[in-house]
Amino acid sequence: MKKLVSLAALAAIMAGCTTAQNNNATYGTDGFGEETLVAESTELNTAYLMAAAPKYYIGNAYKVEDVQYIPVEDLAYNQTGIAGIVPAELNGTKTSNGEIFDASQMLATSKTLPLPTIARVTNLDNGQSVVVRVNNRGPFVNTRIMDLSPAAAARIGMNGTSKVQIQVLADESIAVKNATIGETPKAVVAEPAPQAVEAKPAAQPAPVATTGDYSVQVAAFYAEDSANTLAARMRAYGDATVVHEGDMYKVRIENLDASKARGVIDALRSSEGMAPGLLKNGRWVNADSI
């Protein structure tokens, strides 16, 4: 049985969001052409935001214009970047998690957040906020981190692209996930106290080469925090660092000889579902050339 989700907390959060009364907002800076947006209602549909989805979708790593994105659950997600507006003609199409896109609802897309996720989006140009249901992948360009439905964009006074802050609402996101997958809180069962056992030496990981001509690039981000988070996890595979090049933060496992680089690439593919790249002395080479 699907879990019944309490909506009181979300309603209180949305009541505090500043809304934009903009019935004639337009957009045209994303290459979709200028179009009039009509905000049909100024009331947020809390039941719609928190409804169970056809499926809970995370997905595998993928690339957009040679930049890799790794979908992952991140309840502490708090990023700023450029947001655009989903074209109104996509109304009625199916989203990545099997929902039907409704341009009149408070919806958004994300390259990496699980679907669905509940988040607060604040337009940093005017301070207006809206709570949205993230239920689709995109935008599939590297210049924007999110697209909002026409109704959500109008709610915060967006006429085209704007700089926004995106904050995942952890409790609400957990609730909508549980409603989707049908989880209910499990009873806590007391376990017997563990018996003392003789400590055994922990198995030591294989040593990582400290010098070598090869580097394996795991991913690239616009947000430094995201790169640092992934780099910390990738240190299980070797000397993972964050390299700042241009406006990108690139996560690389460095100082590998050919044998270690081959092993890291194979491990990332099989265990992490990633598609890593390979550099030799700073130059890109075919990842399967070693």
pLDDT of residue 98: 94
Nearest-angstrom CA–CA distance, 274 and 62: 8
**Residue ranges, CATH 3.30.70.1070, the chain:** 214-285
Contact (Cβ atoms closer than 8 angstroms) between residue 273 and residue 60: yes
Closest CA relative to residue 36, chosen from 47, 45, 24, 44: 24
Fold for the domain defined by 8-181: Barwin-like endoglucanases (2.40.40)
pLDDT of residue 183: 60
Please say whether the structural domain 214-285 has been given the CATH code 3.30.70.1070. yes
Let me know if 73 is exposed, middle or buried by CB neighbors in 10 A (0-12, 13-18, 19+): middle
pLDDT of residue 256: 94
pLDDT of residue 8: 54
pLDDT of residue 108: 98
pLDDT of residue 36: 31
Is residue 241 helix, strand or coil? strand
State CA 260 to chain mean position distance. 30
Calculate ∠ Cα 257-263-267, nearest 5°.
Answer: 145
Beta pairing partners, 216: 253, 278
pLDDT-flagged residues of the chain (< 70): 1-44, 183-210
pTM equals 0.56
**Residue ranges, CATH 2.40.40.10, the chain:** 8-181
State CA 87 to chain mean position distance. 21
pLDDT of residue 160: 93
pLDDT of residue 157: 96
Beta pairing partners, 108: 134, 148
